[in-house]
Amino acid sequence: MAGLPLRLFNTLGRELQEFAPLEPGRARVYTCGPTVYAYQHIGNLRAYVFADTLRRVLEWKGYEVVQVINITDVGHLTSDMDEGEDKLELASQREGRSVWDIAAHYTDVFMGDLAKVRVRPATVWPRATEHVEEMIEFARALEEKGYAYRLEAGLFFDTSKLSDYGKLALLDLEGLQEGARVAPIPGKRNPTDFALWRASPTDAERLMEWDSPWGKGAPGWHLECSVMSMKYLGERFDLHTGGVDHIPVHHTNEIAQSEAYLGGAWVPYWLHNEFIGLGETKMSKSKGGTLLLSDLERQGFHPLSYRFLLLGSHYRNQTEFTWRGLEGARVAQRRLLERLRERIPAGGEPLAYDQAWARLDGSARAHLEGLDAAVSADLKTAQALAVLTQLSRDADVPAGDLAVLVAAFEAVLAVGLLDLAPEDLDPPARELMLEVGEVERLLADREEARRSRDFASADEIRDMLDRLGVEVQDTPTGTTWRVRPAVGQREAGRD
């Protein structure tokens, strides 16, 4: 393939490895999709921007990519440990709508959010509820092979049958026996055993249930991904992606049941992105403290500024979200576009590595090689952005070559280099308002910067607040602020 060999950090083994697909020139990728019981927060979106970046780099280097992202619309309990109720059923009860309406609504919003941050559509979007019969057959095969046993609660996978169970997560199975992973189901043979099929309770009817050899019930969450990935990508495929929270349970159990089913190794490369934090608490859709992409838009931020922010950090680094950080990304993105638009107009199509290489001479190719070196070293997008910033300031690059290079960078980064104008990133012409606590925290950061004589940072925070509709005034007795009122509205402030 084009350019340098692609090296990726494989969670299975915890090392950088050169990517070598099972089929030359073709990469098959499975990305764990959402459970569509609520809105996906901005932390969830990181997993899909990461997977999209991986796909874009593969295609940029000349691979044909087939990507599958599932939609979990049944089977995911409120705990990953086979405890609790189905998340879709709980959402249905909470919102007073059918589970089908719940799944359809939140799937549509999720798809819209992906489009806004320019995550390319998957090749296939399989839904769990459309593949229950295949899941039953998969589970039946595991039972026939001796890997599963029946309980009143359903059909369970016997993890003791695999000598290398937990290899992805490097689980200490002896330690788990002491109760760190408590088995809540009566009759489970091992704490790590998990449900392939969950039987419906005898005294109640589930909102979503199917007939099976083990009685009425629903498939286990882990089973879904094994079945749908194999159906659309083949029994063995190249890459499996997801968030780090999937490593200890979901992906560990996917590997166990899939390798038992196949009788050998399954997926060779496992890639995981880290969390986006909000303060000191990991964001969770089922608890408080979430931020949605629509929240960022309401504060006047373009969705691609959030993508720009994500790409400014390596996918394996845990990152804290702050409004100040997002504003910094917006400013950097705008200045980048300003420099580019001074020399080349908007327009054009993204270019793959080989296409760009063929249109450039030796001197301009150095920037293309810089991009390739960055993304070939485990998708170092922050380094790629640094190379792009250098390129935008290199007056010796002719405009024609610059246009080619920008098209190559956009193919990988997808941050609006070809179609956005700088002013597209500015807050809209309406008054905006941050949460009071967030304003006061930013002002505390500003005060700390002033005490440290970091006046550039202090001015940056003040300018950001001004753009977001917050007027700041320094007085002899301290700093005051107010929200700039919209036309026709009564003034409202806080001293």
pTM higher than 0.75 for the full model? yes
> Residue 128 pLDDT more than 50?
yes
Position 316 scores a pLDDT of: 97
Q: Per-residue pLDDT averaged across 206-224, rounded?
A: 91
Position 105 scores a pLDDT of: 94
Q: For residues 413 and 57, give the distance between their C-alpha atoms in angstroms, rounded to a whole number.
A: 9
Among the ranges given (244-258, 262-276, 363-377, 460-474), the one the predictor scored with the smallest mean pLDDT: 460-474
Position 336 scores a pLDDT of: 97
> Residue 78 pLDDT more than 80?
no
CATH tag, 299-425: 1.10.730
- pLDDT greater at residue 481 or residue 179: 481
- pLDDT greater at residue 299 or residue 243: 243
Query: What are the sequence ranges of the domains in the chain?
Result: 7-277, 299-425, 436-494
Write a three-state SS string for 359-398: HCCHHHHHHHHHHHHHHHECCCHHHHHHHHHHHHCCCCCC
Would the CATH topology of 7-277 be identical to that of 299-425?
no
Among the ranges given (126-135, 302-311, 327-336, 483-492), the one the predictor scored with the smallest mean pLDDT: 483-492
Q: Per-residue pLDDT averaged across 259-284, rounded?
A: 83
CATH tag, 7-277: 3.40.50.620
pLDDT band at 279 (very low <50, low <70, confident <90, very high): low
Position 486 scores a pLDDT of: 52
Position 286 scores a pLDDT of: 41
Cα 447 to the center of its chain, rounded Å = 34
> Residue 28 pLDDT more than 50?
yes
> Residue 494 pLDDT more than 60?
no
Q: Per-residue pLDDT averaged across 423-430, rounded?
A: 78
Position 283 scores a pLDDT of: 44
Mean pLDDT score across all residues of the chain: 89
> Residue 68 pLDDT more than 50?
yes
Write a three-state SS string for the chain: CCCCCCEEEECCCCEEEECCCCECCEEEEEECCCECCCCCEHHHHHHHHHHHHHHHHHHHCCCEEEEEECEECCCCECCCCCCCCEHHHHHHHHHCCCHHHHHHHHHHHHHHHHHHCCCCCCCECCEHHHCHHHHHHHHHHHHHCCCEEEECCEEEECHHHCCCCCCCCCCCHHHHHHHHCCCCCCCCCCCCCEEEEEECCCCCCCCCCECCCCCCEEECHHHHHHHHHHHHHCCCCCEEEEEHHHHHHHHHHHHHHHHHHHCCCCCCEEEEECCEEECCEECCCCCCCCCEHHHHHHCCCCHHHHHHHHHCCCCCCCEEECHHHHHHHHHHHHHHHHHHHCCCCCCCCCCCHHHHHHHCCHHHHHHHHHHHHHHHECCCHHHHHHHHHHHHCCCCCCHHHHHHHHHHHHHHHCCCCCCCCHHHHCCCCCCCCCCHHHHHHHHHHHHHHHHCCCHHHHHHHHHHHHHCCEEEEEECCEEEEEECCCCCCCCEEEC
- pLDDT greater at residue 269 or residue 462: 269
pLDDT band at 434 (very low <50, low <70, confident <90, very high): low
* Percent of the chain topping pLDDT 70: 89
